[in-house]
């Protein structure tokens, strides 16, 4: 599929999406978000893709939703444009999704990073929710995912002041997995994605689902769901292959079955 506002490619077992509106710091127009969803849909359907990397390129991740597109909108416009549906592929994507963040990840840009499963940050990365400066609040999870990750007080700070935090501070807060020199952010994320993509796909999928469920369910319910998925995986060829390969001292060859 040809895209106008993103670049999408498949490198081995890794799908790579680069947001591509550099003149407006990758501002997230509805069209861009639509293309992002479509590209993720292609990766979802392609069994060759084991994991995906989402980046904004070397300079900026995304400076948020397109303010020019939003300024004159009414509440009814907002409701009827099905924004939520447009953003949904980011959270329903079943394969591991890694964000490679350089420069600003602000507003919706930060929310996209927080929807990913792992975040590799360049030392230039800045994470923030500046919506307060525009007279609004985050609309894609900024008030909800920050407290779940960084705790109430940091969440209050970023949401009430609008000031971004550095990559290093984000790392200390557990918001990013790794901080690396900005020149290598994307390569480091791809390398990690390649390693993850070698794992058995069904186990990856259920592991991702289980970790995400932990944020939304009481412990006993989460443990029960984890157990069910654990038992289920014994119905897969990959479980037999993985355990046999271990015993035979060789690498497993996984098929996603
Ligand atoms: N939208 C449109 N254009 C933007 C933009 C944005 N978010 N951010 C930057 N640009 C444009 C600038 O207007 C400028 O365009 P020209 O003047 O060159 O034509 C160009 O990008 C370069 O920006 P600057 O000249 O401002 O560059 P600086 O380096 O000086 O500053 C900055 C960089 C990132 C600090 C600054 O651009 C900035 O503050 N940008 C706005 C950041 C912001 O407020 N973001 C939050 C937007 S609100 C929802 C889903 C999502 C959302 C809501 C609901 N649903 C599913 C319901 C999300 C909302 C938001 O993200």
Superfamily grouping for domain 201-247: Lyase 2-enoyl-coa Hydratase, Chain  A, domain 2 (1.10.12.10)
- Determine the Cα–Cα distance for residues 43 and 16; give it in Å rounded to an integer: 9
pLDDT at 116: 98
Residue whose CA is at the smallest distance from ligand 1 atom 47 = 64
Reduced to 3 states, what is the DSSP secondary structure of residue 16?
strand
Q: How far is the CA of 255 from the centre of ligand 1 (A)?
A: 43
144 lines ligand 1 (CB under 6 A): no
- Tell me the pLDDT tens digit for each residue of 190-227: 999 999 999 999 999 999 999 999 999 999 999 999 99
- Tell me the pLDDT tens digit for each residue of 19-74: 999 999 999 999 999 999 999 999 999 999 999 999 999 999 999 999 999 999 99
67 lines ligand 1 (CB under 6 A): yes
Residue whose CA is at the smallest distance from ligand 1 atom 38 = 63
Residue whose CA is at the smallest distance from ligand 1 atom 57 = 139
What's the predicted TM-score (pTM) here? Answer: 0.97
- Tell me the pLDDT tens digit for each residue of 99-126: 999 999 999 999 999 999 999 999 999 9
In sequence order, the 6+-apart residues with CB closer than 8 A to the CB of 173 are 149, 150, 151, 154, 165
Q: What is the mean pLDDT of residues 244-257?
A: 96
- Tell me the pLDDT tens digit for each residue of 122-141: 999 999 999 999 999 999 99
Domain spanning 6-197: CATH 3.90.226.10: yes
> Annotated catalytic sites, by residue?
65, 108, 111, 131
93, 44 contact by CB (below 8 A): yes
66 lines ligand 1 (CB under 6 A): yes
Residue spans of the domains in the chain: they are 6-197, 201-247
């Amino acid at each position: 599929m040809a895209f106008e506002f993103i670049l999408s490619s498949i490198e081995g077992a890794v799908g790579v999406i680069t947001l591509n509106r550099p003149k407006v710091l990758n501002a997230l127009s509805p069209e861009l978000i639509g293309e992002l969803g479509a590209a993720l849909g292609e990766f979802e359907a392609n069994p060759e893709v084991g994991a995906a990397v989402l980046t904004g390129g070397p300079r900026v991740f995304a400076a948020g939703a397109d303010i020019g597109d939003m300024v004159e909108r009414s509440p009814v416009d907002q409701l009827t444009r099905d924004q939520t549906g447009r953003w949904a592929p980011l959270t329903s994507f079943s394969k591991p999704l890694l964000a490679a963040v350089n420069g600003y990840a602000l507003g919706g840009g930060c929310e996209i990073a927080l929807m990913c499963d792992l975040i590799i940050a360049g030392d230039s990365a800045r994470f923030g929710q500046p919506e307060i400066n525009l007279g609004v609040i985050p609309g894609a999870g900024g008030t909800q995912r920050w407290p779940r990750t960084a705790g109430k007080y940091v969440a209050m700070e970023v949401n009430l002041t609008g000031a971004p935090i550095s990559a290093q501070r984000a790392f200390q807060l557990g918001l990013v997995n790794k901080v690396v020199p900005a020149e290598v952010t994307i390569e480091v994320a791809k390398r990690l994605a390649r390693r993850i993509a070698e794992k058995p796909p069904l186990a990856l999928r259920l592991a991702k689902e289980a970790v995400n469920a932990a944020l939304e369910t009481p412990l006993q319910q989460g443990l029960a769901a984890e157990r069910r998925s654990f038992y289920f995986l014994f119905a897969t060829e990959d479980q037999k292959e993985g355990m046999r390969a271990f015993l035979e001292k060789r690498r497993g060859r996984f098929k996603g079955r």
